């Protein structure tokens, strides 16, 4: 698996040996943007074209394009878990946000 970047958008690319084609998908959005190509140059161009098409489509509809992840998300937890992680953060002497962020960083390596 290979990663590609364009205008802050990040895509993962794989090769389909049977079809002899590269295909990719932007991974840092909720919206779906895909592309494909038979060579590295064609793949890079298809990625850029797909992102530009997405931006143009949003503009035509008068919508703000989804930006790559903002760094904010809502997590729903059982009240007992919420209490437990709040207590753990206090024990560590950090904010709940800092504790959760540090725990997630360790989890993803």
Q: What is the pLDDT of residues 17-55, one digit of tens each?
A: 999 999 999 998 888 999 999 999 999 999 999 999 999
Q: Is residue 65 part of a domain?
A: no
31 belongs to a structural domain = yes
Residue 74 lies in a domain: no
Domain that holds residue 95: 79-108
Q: What's the rounded Cα separation, in Å, for the pair 14 and 109?
A: 23
Q: List pLDDT tens digits, range 46-97.
A: 999 999 999 999 999 999 998 776 677 888 999 999 999 999 999 999 999 9
User: Tell me, what's the pLDDT at 109?
Assistant: 86
* Residue written as token pair 């970047």: 5
Residues 6 and 40 in one domain: yes
* Same domain? 10 vs 55: yes
Hey, is 5 helix, strand or coil?
Answer: strand
**pTM: predicted TM-score of the whole model, two decimal places:** 0.64
Q: Is residue 49 assigned to a domain?
A: yes
Could you give the number of structural domains in the chain?
2
- CA 104, 106, 107, 109 torsion: positive or negative? positive
């Amino acid at each position: 698996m290979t990663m590609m970047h364009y205008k802050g958008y990040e895509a993962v690319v794989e090769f389909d040996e049977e079809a002899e084609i590269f295909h990719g998908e932007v991974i840092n959005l909720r919206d779906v943007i895909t592309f494909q190509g038979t060579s590295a140059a064609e793949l890079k161009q298809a990625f850029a074209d797909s992102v530009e098409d997405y931006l143009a489509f949003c503009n035509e509809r008068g919508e703000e394009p989804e930006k790559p992840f903002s760094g904010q998300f809502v997590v729903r937890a059982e009240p007992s878990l919420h209490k437990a992680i709040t207590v753990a953060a206090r024990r560590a002497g950090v904010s709940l946000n800092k504790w959760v962020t540090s725990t997630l960083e360790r989890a993803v390596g």
